[in-house]
Chains A and B, each alone.
Chain A
C-alpha cells in the first residue's frame, strides 16, 4: 500500500509504503514500512520505490565517467579530487602505456597539481579509495575550458532521457560538454560567451530540476541569448 503519490515531495522519515516493494535509492525498510532517507521526490518503477534526492555527495561506481582535479603528485600515482568523501587514485599504469621508471619529475610531466582530467572509475569498494584510469578514448587531461559544479543527484536530469537534455544544450550553445557522474562538468566552447551561456543553462537546470517543461524553457532561454 502506497502512502504517497508519484513525484510527491518527501523528507527523511516519511512513510512511503508498506508491503511487497523493493527499497531503491534513498529509501530504507524498517519492519513492513518503506521510508525516505533524504529530501526529494518519490518515484515508483515497477515495485521499486526510490527518492530522487535534492542533495547528496558522490559515491563512485565502477565505469562512471568523472571529471576530477589533481590534488597531489605521489611517487607512482596522483591523488584526484572527484567531489567525493573518497579521493580518486590514478596510478601511472592507468595514465600511460609506456613502462614507468619511478622518478617524480616524469609524473609531473604527464599530470601536475591543478590539472583537470576526464577519467573513468576502474575499481571501488568502501575499504579502498577509488581507482581511476585515463587511458580509454575520450579520457585524459583537459587543456582548456571551465568546470561547473552541480549536486551529483541532479546529473541524470542534466543528461535527460537518452541524453536529450544535454544534447540540446550542446547543440544550441555550440559547446563540448563532458558531464561527470560526480557532479563536475567540463564545458569547452569556441568563444568564452558560449561557455558562459552553457554554464548559466547548467545552473538553471540544477535549480529547476524537479519542474516540468524544463526542456522547453531551456530551449527558450538559449534562444533569447543567441
Chain B
C-alpha cells in the first residue's frame, strides 16, 4: 500500500510462505491473531475527540472536529460526515509530502464507508435547521508509522476518536441564529463498526498483516461489520484474485474477529 519503493527479498518471501504452509507466521502469531493493540483516547484536547491507536508497531492518530455548516443538497435534514486520511511522510520512507494519492484516498473512503453504512453516528440527530444548518463532523486520519494494516488501525482510531468526542449543544433562535451552549455532549452513536483485514499469500490467509506480509501478499480483503455482525462494507485490494469460497470464508473470519475487537478494544 504505497510502499512500493523496495520489494521484499526472494528468500524472505520463500520463508514467509514456507512458514504459512505450516500455519505459522514470522512473528510467531497464529494466522487469525492480531498484534498487540493499544488505544489512547483524548490525546488532543483541542480536538472535539481524538485517539491514538497502535496495532503492533503501526501507529495512527485520528482527530475529530465538529463545525456548523450547510447540509448536502440531497440530504437536507442530515448532519454531514467527512473523512480524510494523510499518509504522513513520517510514517514510511516511501510516503512523500503532498496531496492525497490513491492510497490515502482509498484508506479514507474505506473508513468512510465503514462509518457511514453502519450508521455509526446518527447523522439525522445532527440537524439544526433543515436545509440550512447542520453539524459537520470531520474525521482526520494521520498515519504516523506504517508497519502494516492501516485499514483496521484507522477505523479503530476513528471510532475511538468519535466515541471520545464531546460537542457543544446548540440552540436555534427565532431568527435562525444558531448558538453553542456551554454544555458539551457526546455524539449520537448507533453502531460501532470494526474492520478486519486479511492478506492472501499463496493460498493462505493471514489476519492483520504485518508490513512484510503486506509486501508478499497478492491480494487483501477488508470486511467491515456493524455491532450486530452485519456486513456493511467490503474492499478488495491488490492485483491478485479470490475464489468465491475464499471470500465467504474471509467474511466468516471477519465476523468472528470483529466481535473480539469490539468487545476487547472498543469495549462495547
Contacts and interface: CB of A to CB of B under 8 A. Distances in A.
Direct contact of A and B (CB under 8 A): yes
Contacts of B19: 192
Interface residues of A, number: 15
Contact of B6 (A71, A143, A146, A147): A71
Interface in A167-201: 192
B22 to A, nearest CB: 9
B228 interface: no
A114 interface: yes
A145 B13 CA distance: 11
A208 interface: no
B9 A114 contact: yes
B9 A147 contact: yes
B94 to A, nearest CB: 13
Contact of B12 (A71, A143, A147): A147
A146 B7 contact: no
B7 to A, nearest CB: 5
Nearest to A81: B6
Contacts, number: 32
Contact of A143 (B11, B13, B18): B11
A146 B10 CA distance: 10
B265 interface: no
B8 interface: yes
Interface residues of B, number: 12
B29 interface: no
Interface in B52-78: none
Contacts of A4: none
B132 interface: no
B263 interface: no
A71 B191 CA distance: 46
A116 B7 contact: no
Interface in A117-157: 142-147
A69 B11 CA distance: 10
Nearest to B22: A192
A147 B11 contact: yes
B14 interface: yes
B190 interface: no
B15 interface: yes
Q: Which 7 A-B pairs have the closest CB atoms?
A: A114-B10, A69-B9, A116-B9, A114-B7, A114-B9, A116-B11, A115-B10
Interface of A: 69, 71, 81, 112-116, 142-147, 192
15 contacts: A69-B9, A81-B6, A113-B7, A114-B7, A114-B8, A114-B9, A114-B13, A115-B9, A115-B10, A116-B9, A145-B11, A146-B11, A146-B12, A192-B15, A192-B19
